[in-house]
Each structure stands twice: as structure tokens, then as C-alpha cells.
Amino acid sequence: MQERLSIAMISDFFYPDVGGVENHIYMLSANLIRKGHNVIIITHSHGDRVGIRWLLPGLKVYYLPFLPIASSATLPNFFTSLPYLRTILLREHIHLIHAHASLSSIGHEGILHAHLMGIRTVFTDHSLFGFEDAASILTNKLLASSLKHVDAVICVSHTGRENTVLRGQLYERSDKDPTTLAVRKNVYVIPNALVAEQFKPHPPRVSETITIVILSRLAYRKGIDLLIATAPRICAAFPNVHFVIGGDGPKLIELLQMREKHRLQDRIELLGSVRHEDVSSVLARGSIFMNTSLTESFGIAILEAACAGLYVVSTRVGGVPEILPKDLISFANPDADDIFRAISEAIQIVSAGQHDPYRAHERIKRFYDWGQVATRTEAVYDGVIKSRQIELWERIRRTMELGPFAGPIYTIILIVDCLFFLFLEWWAPRQDIDYVTHEFRQEEFRKCMKEVELGEPTCLGEVIDQSAVMTVPELLKVVNTQ
Amino acid sequence: MSAEAENWEKVLWKRQPYPDNYVPPDFLSSLRRNPNFRPYTYWSLVSLSCAVTQHLATICIFISVFVHLQEQLLDPRTLIWLSVGCFVSGYTLWVLLDQSQVALDERINILKTFKSSILIFLALMSLSPVLRTLTASTSSDSIWALSAILLLLNAILADYSALNGKEQLTSVISMNAAVSASAVLASRLTTDIAVFGLMLFSIQAFALFPFLRYRFQASGSAVQSSLTFGLVLSTVWFTVGLSWKITCLYMLIFSFVTFLAPALLMWAQKYKNEIRGPWDVAVPRLD
């Protein structure tokens, strides 16, 4: 049994927003709590949601009063979060910060400040970025600067890791041969997972029609142009094929125009935006899932579809080729002719009954499981806690490697951050902080619950005898002291 | 890691007997650096930069013409006749250089052009009293600053590409900036006919000449270089009477743009480090 850790997940992206990163953070936290760790989440305020909220499996969420600038990301201002983070991290007795997503500036700030309090850091990168446009150049520099301080990096796919290693300069001179560069030892690949119970296959309908499901944001990056180019051809070639398209976005109008132009109103159904809890029922309507993304670091939607027993056709981009075995997915190049070919193949496979939805579901259930993800993440945490902490001088040296302009700028930021921290130590002394005490112990509770289930409540017995009208905190206090 | 371990595969869907931070030997094997690298050649760059020099020379000539008009060194009537002459000869050249050779009843085309040019001619003539007094109340300092900014905008946003493809928005903005610059400058002139002459000349130089320039660009480097040389020569001829210092400055700028800037670009090319890989956003092929 590992020692219990107190972990703070920090990211700009969290509930009430929904998305891949948000779901990942929540599921990972819930599973770490199940393993007996204390987990809190720190994010920025969403609307009037400021302060502390609790989510179901005992997950405490701090919403800091910062305003998001664009698509729920905050402005990287390096210092303003330090007073908040210092208080929260100290009062929660945090051992380790786990920051998520490379566009989340609050996560980067957490990594920058953590060493001041002797807290260790882990960073998970969820997305792929190029190297050529101005936005990528700026955010990559920001990422590289904060990854100079991080103790371990987790990527969600092998392609994602190659990308992050290049973007975040996660390489150093090799020990064996100092002339070559080697990837740092602390870069891990741990995939996403899914709750397989939410995506169960439905019994196949007895009919000739084959329904192709598309669930995606209707945007250029999701390759909707390819869908618009291929859907009429598929409809013309296969009279028994229907489309169900869920999602909303700027390309919706073009899709509607295509449908009108080719008079396919009865063959192509557009659902508009689909809530995450309805995804399963939409998937249940189809037998083939089509993904035309132009870039994708993991492709959780593909996984959900495959888990629900759909045969998948996808473009061969980013991390998608890694996530499913070859017999569950057909690949196409991002070109209309090749997608048409792959869809035709998939239609043949499905109509010949060569794809068994139940077997696919069972296999994916074995491959992807949040419990395993939490165990693997725990191993990363363990390695980080046992490793030597980077000293300030080493941090300065690494930061100066960023470049002739960025190096000194980020070094100044680092030093000013240390001075600001010293000021805060004097201004708001540690002994004045209202520390959190943990009343609840998962292990004890579970043991007692098991005993209750077995019908021999030894530890709860006295409590129940004493009074039937005891309040929950009192009950917990008794359980914990025993 | 066991010794008889199966080969590592780049997949996520099965647990492999390797730790999560295992770095495979083919790590980054799909990374490609400078995949579309084409080394530049000096003289092709010089020939391409001729378009920039030509445009800058046009702006310089325009400024000189304005100064000549304002100092009353040039009779506006001469300028108008010169503009008309330029238009006729330029239009003839433009038709002659047409490489697509679609002789679709060209006479009607020419008549149409003639009609619309007469219309513009008359419209400008009737508007010139208005233009002369339009910004008369603004101080001259503001006018110089404004016209300098507008001409700079024109030079920055102009379309210097060699291919006469679709007209971009920036080149439209560029043309508008130049015409606005001449409109504000025109208010510093004293007579209506001088205002008319300047406006006519600015439309020739900034709206029509770029079209002719594309045709020249398409017809080979000998024509290209002689046109550049001719424009630079006329810049010198127009400016040297006003100030030899400015002439020297112009010559420095022209030689920098034509000869030094391509060399700088070639030198900078060795620092090119373009990184491509499977994480890039794919380009969809739709046909």
C-alpha cells in the first residue's frame, strides 16, 4: 500500500464546462479518491460559481475568482494566482500538483509556484499543436517555460508524447553519449479511458438499412468538409445507408446546403448539439461511426463509439491509429476518394455480419478502464515523490536554456515569484491559515460498510446502539476514532 | 522489462511489458524537417523583388510630381497630357501582352474601356473643386503625416505576388490608401486643374499600373528588369531637380530592396527549421 497523497488537480477546464479534458480530470480524481488519496480541484470561476463546491465522490472544487478571456482559458499573468494557490495548497496539505492541458494558464502558474512550498508537480498534455502559426509559437514557449519546472509529464498518446517532447523541449544530453539528445525519463504515456457501462451495445435491428453516425463539433478541424464531399457519394452508391449527424458548429450551414442540394433530407438526419448523456442513445441508432477529423490527439469519441459496438471509420491523423486494434477500425487518408473507399469497406463488413458488437465491447472494456489509468498515474506520482526535487539554481539554469530573449524574461519571472512568495510569507503567516482536517477516512468507512453488508457491524454497532439520531459528522468522528 | 519481451508497438489498446515512460528506438521516426525545402537562387529572388522596387519607384514618382505641382515647376496641363498618353500607351501594351489571346470581339471591349475612362475623366474633373477644398481646413502638418501613413500602408499591403491570381482584399485596401493619400495631398494645391491632374495621375499610378505590372511580370525577366530600370531612372530624373539628398536616399532604398534584401533572405534560409509530423492538422483533399 502506497502512502496517501494529497493531490491538487489544477486546470482552467472543468465542470460546469463539458469536454474531454474536463471529463478526464473528474474521472481520474474520482478513481484516485477511490484508491484512498485526497484530491481537490482548482479552477477559475465559471459565471457565478465562485468559492468551494463539492462533487459527488467527495471531490472538493475551488473556483478561483479569475475571469476567462477566450474559450474558458485565463490570461497568463504568472503572479496573481499565487496568494490564492499558496493558501489553498497549504491549508489542504497538498503534496503534489497535477496540472492539465497546455492552454490552461492557471495550471502553468501552479507548476511555477509549487516548488516554493516544496510541492511536486505533474503535467498532463491533452492536445496536439503545430509549430508554424504565431499562436503555437507563443503557447509553445509558455509550455516549454513551465515544463522546465515540472517533475513528470503525462501524455495521452504516443503521438502526443512526440509532440509534447518537441514543444516543451523535454530532452537533455544523453548520459551515455553527451553529443546526442535523449528524451527525459519522466515523460509517460497513459491513455484516456471511458466508463464502458455507459456505452453498451444494443441488439442489432432487424432491417436492411445501415446507419452511419457522426458525432463531432461541426468545425473545419473536424474535417466536416470531407464529410460534405463524401456523404452524397455514399448515399448515391448505397441506397440502404442513412446518416445521423450530431453536433453544432460553423459548418452546419454547409451541411444543410449539401443536404438540400442533393435532396437527401430523408437520408441525412441532423440532430444539432447532443448532450454527453445522450451520446449513448445516439450511438445506439447506428452501426458505423465515421470520424473525419484533421487532427486528434486521442479521439475519445471514437473509443466511445467502438465501445458501443459500432464499427469505426476514421482518418489516419494524430493519435487515432494507436487507440484501436485493426479489426475494429478502418482507416482512410484525409481525402474524399479514400474515405469513400473505407466507408464502402465498412459497409461490406457490417452487412456481412463480420463485426460483433458485443465482442468489441468486451475487448474495449478490458483495454480502457479508469481504475487502470489511476493505478498507472499513481505509479507516476510515486516516482515523482521519491525523486529528488529540482533546486532553485537548477531551475534558473534550465530556464536560461529557453533562449536569448525568453530565457532572461522567464528567469526574472521566476525570481520575482520567489520574492513575492517571501512577501506573502511575512504578510499572511502560515500559522494564520485555516488548515483543513480530514474527518473522513475512505478505508475505515469502506471496511465498516462491508461489515454492515455482511450483517455483522462490529465497529458501527456501538454507534447504532448509542443513538439512531446521530448526525453524519458525529457518526464519522466515532468511526474514525475507533 | 523482461528480456524475451515482445516487440514494442505504438499502440495504446494493449498493456505492453514496458513501463509507461519507455522510449522506443523509433521515437520521433515520423518527424520530418523542412520537407518542402527549396533553396532560393539569388537572381530569381532579385527578379521577384523587382516588383517591390517598381512599386516603390511609382510612389516616389508620385511624390515628386506632387512637389513639382505644388512648387509650380510643372504645368498641370502637361501632366494631364502625359497621363492621357501614358494611359493610351499602357492600355495598348496591356492588350498586346495578353497571353490568353481570347479575341472575343475586342473592338467592343476597347469601346467599353474608352467609355468608362471618359466617365472617370469627367467625374474627376467635376469633383476636383470639391477635392481641393475638402481638407483645406486641416493643417498642413497633419496632411503630411496622414499621407505618409497612407502611402506606407499602400506599400506594405500591395500585392507583389508574381501570379496574377485572385485579387486579395489587402491589395484593394492598398489601392484605396494610395488614392486617399492623393486626395488629401490634392487639397494643398492651389488650382482646380492641378488637383485634377494629380488625381488623374494617382489613379494611373496606383489603380491601373499594378495591372500592367502583372502582365510585365508574366512576360519574362528581361522585360521585368528593363521596366524596373526605366522606373528607377525616371524617379531619379523627377527627383534630382528637387533635392539630391532625397535622390541618394531613394537610390539606397532601391538598391537595398533589389540586391541586398534577396541576399539577406538567402542567408537567413540556412536557419529554416520547419518541423512536420503526424500531429499537424491534415489538409483535406476534396475532389
Cβ <8 Å between B286 and A336? yes
Residues of B in contact with A131 (CB under 8 A): 274-275
Q: Is the confidence at residue A367, as pLDDT, over 60?
A: yes
Give mean pLDDT, residues A455-468. Answer: 51
Min distance A187 CA to chain B CA atoms (Å)? 6
Over residues B57-110, the pLDDT tens digits come to 999 999 999 999 998 888 999 999 999 999 889 888 888 777 655 555 566 677
DSSP tag of A294: S
CA angle A294, A300, A302 (to 5 degrees): 70
Q: CA-nearest residue of chain A to B19?
A: A188
Residue B264 backbone dihedrals phi, psi, to 5 degrees: -60, -45
| CA separation for the pair A203, B178 (Å, rounded) | 70
Cβ <8 Å between A186 and B21? yes
Does residue B97 form part of some domain?
A: yes
Give mean pLDDT, residues A31-53. Answer: 90
Output the pLDDT for position A255. Answer: 93
Cβ of B26 under 8 Å from any chain A Cβ? no
Over residues B12-44, the pLDDT tens digits come to 888 888 888 888 888 888 888 888 888 888 988
Range in A90-104, A179-193, A240-254 with the lowest mean pLDDT: A179-193
Which residue has cell 464531399? A229
- Angle of helix A105-114 relative to helix A406-427, nearest 10 degrees, comes to 70
Collapsing DSSP to helix, strand or coil, B74 comes out as coil
Q: Enumerate residues 6+ apart whose C-beta is below 8 A from A174.
A: A180, A181, A182
| CA separation for the pair A470, B63 (Å, rounded) | 93
Give the mutation candidate from A159, A176, A258, A381 for the B interface (greatest B CB count, under 10 A).
Answer: A159
| CA separation for the pair B26, A92 (Å, rounded) | 43
CA A481 to chain centre: 37
User: Is the CB of residue A50 less than 8 Å from the CB of residue A66?
Assistant: no
Q: Is the confidence at residue A475, as pLDDT, over 60?
A: no
User: Is the CB of residue A62 less than 8 Å from the CB of residue A45?
Assistant: no
Residues of A in contact with B11 (CB under 8 A): 322-323, 325
Does residue B201 form part of some domain?
A: yes
Residues β-bridged to residue A54: A60
Cβ <8 Å between A380 and B20? yes
Cβ of B105 under 8 Å from any chain A Cβ? no
Residues of A in contact with B278 (CB under 8 A): 159, 162, 317-318
| CA separation for the pair A18, A8 (Å, rounded) | 20
| CA separation for the pair B94, B211 (Å, rounded) | 8
Round the average pLDDT of chain B to a whole number and report it. 86
Round the average pLDDT of chain A to a whole number and report it. 87
User: Is the CB of residue A294 less than 8 Å from the CB of residue B284?
Assistant: yes
User: Is the CB of residue A255 less than 8 Å from the CB of residue A229?
Assistant: no
| CA separation for the pair A61, A9 (Å, rounded) | 9
Provide the CB-side half-sphere exposure for A77 (13 A, CA).
11
Give the mutation candidate from B8, B10, B281 for the A interface (greatest A CB count, under 10 A).
Answer: B281
Residue A221 backbone dihedrals phi, psi, to 5 degrees: -65, -20
Domain edges within chain A: 6-193+370-427, 196-367, 442-478
Question: Could you tell me the three cell numbers for A69?
Answer: 478571456
Cβ-nearest to A317 among B13, B282, B285? B282
ipTM: 0.73
Cβ of B104 under 8 Å from any chain A Cβ? no
Question: Could you tell me the three cell numbers for A206?
Answer: 432487424
Cβ <8 Å between B284 and A334? yes
Structural domain of B115: 42-270
| CA separation for the pair B57, B205 (Å, rounded) | 10
Over residues A84-105, the pLDDT tens digits come to 999 999 999 999 999 999 888 8
Surface-to-core class of residue A27, CB atoms within 10 Å of its CB (0-12 exposed, 13-18 middle, 19+ buried): middle
Residues of B in contact with A190 (CB under 8 A): 20
| CA separation for the pair A33, B223 (Å, rounded) | 77
Query: Are the folds of A6-193+370-427 and A196-367 the same?
Result: yes
Min distance B19 CA to chain A CA atoms (Å)? 8
Q: Is the confidence at residue A466, as pLDDT, over 70?
A: no
Q: Is the dihedral of CA A9, A10, A14, A15 positive or negative?
A: positive
Yes or no: is domain A6-193+370-427 CATH 3.40.50.2000? yes
Does residue B118 form part of some domain?
A: yes
User: Is the CB of residue B159 less than 8 Å from the CB of residue B213?
Assistant: no
Does residue B263 form part of some domain?
A: yes
Q: CA-nearest residue of chain B to A294?
A: B282
CA dihedral B248, B253, B255, B261 (to 10 degrees): 160
DSSP tag of B117: H
User: Is the CB of residue B203 less than 8 Å from the CB of residue B120?
Assistant: yes
Provide the pLDDT confidence category of residue A465 given band limits of 50, 70 and 90. Answer: very low
CA angle B105, B84, B121 (to 5 degrees): 80
Output the pLDDT for position A459. Answer: 54
Does residue B69 form part of some domain?
A: yes
| CA separation for the pair A458, A451 (Å, rounded) | 7
CATH tag, A196-367: 3.40.50.2000
User: Is the CB of residue A274 less than 8 Å from the CB of residue A282?
Assistant: yes
Residues β-bridged to residue B261: none
Question: Could you tell me the three cell numbers for A115?
Answer: 516548488
Does residue B281 form part of some domain?
A: no
Provide the pLDDT confidence category of residue A463 given band limits of 50, 70 and 90. Answer: very low
Question: Could you tell me the three cell numbers for A228?
Answer: 460534405
Provide the pLDDT confidence category of residue B4 given band limits of 50, 70 and 90. Answer: very low
| Cis peptide upstream of residue A16 (ω within 30 degrees of 0) | yes
User: Is the CB of residue A435 less than 8 Å from the CB of residue A428?
Assistant: no
Parallel, antiparallel, or unpaired for β A51-55 and A59-64?
A: antiparallel
Over residues A303-348, the pLDDT tens digits come to 999 999 999 999 999 889 999 998 889 999 999 999 999 999 999 9
| CA separation for the pair A301, B280 (Å, rounded) | 20
Q: Is the dihedral of CA A262, A263, A267, A271 positive or negative?
A: positive
Residue A62 backbone dihedrals phi, psi, to 5 degrees: -100, 120
Q: Which of A32, A382, A12, A336 is nearest to A186 (CA)?
A: A382
Does residue B145 form part of some domain?
A: yes
Min distance A100 CA to chain B CA atoms (Å)? 18
Q: Is the confidence at residue A467, as pLDDT, over 50?
A: no
Residues of B in contact with A185 (CB under 8 A): 21
Give mean pLDDT, residues A137-156. Answer: 91
Letter for the amino acid at B65?
A: V
Residue B7 backbone dihedrals phi, psi, to 5 degrees: -65, 140
Collapsing DSSP to helix, strand or coil, A210 comes out as strand
Which residue has cell 449527424? A245
Min distance A297 CA to chain B CA atoms (Å)? 7
User: Is the CB of residue B64 less than 8 Å from the CB of residue B242?
Assistant: yes
3-state helix, strand, coil in chain A (%, to 5): 45, 20, 35
Min distance A418 CA to chain B CA atoms (Å)? 31
Give the mutation candidate from A150, A176, A189, A254 for the B interface (greatest B CB count, under 10 A).
Answer: A189
Min distance A166 CA to chain B CA atoms (Å)? 9
Output the pLDDT for position A152. Answer: 94
- The strand ranges marked E within A210-367 are 210-215, 241-246, 268-272, 288-291, 311-315, 329-332
Collapsing DSSP to helix, strand or coil, A429 comes out as coil
Whole-model pTM? Answer: 0.78
Cβ <8 Å between A294 and B282? yes
Give the mutation candidate from A126, A150, A162 for the B interface (greatest B CB count, under 10 A).
Answer: A162
Over residues A423-461, the pLDDT tens digits come to 999 999 999 888 988 766 666 777 777 776 776 655 554
Contacts across the A-B interface (CB distance below 8 Å): 102
Q: Is the confidence at residue B121, as pLDDT, over 80?
A: yes
Domain count, chain B: 1
Does residue B35 form part of some domain?
A: no
Give mean pLDDT, residues A29-53. Answer: 90
Q: Is the dihedral of CA A441, A442, A445, A447 positive or negative?
A: negative
Q: Which of A153, A319, A158 is nearest to B28 (CA)?
A: A158
Output the pLDDT for position B23. Answer: 86
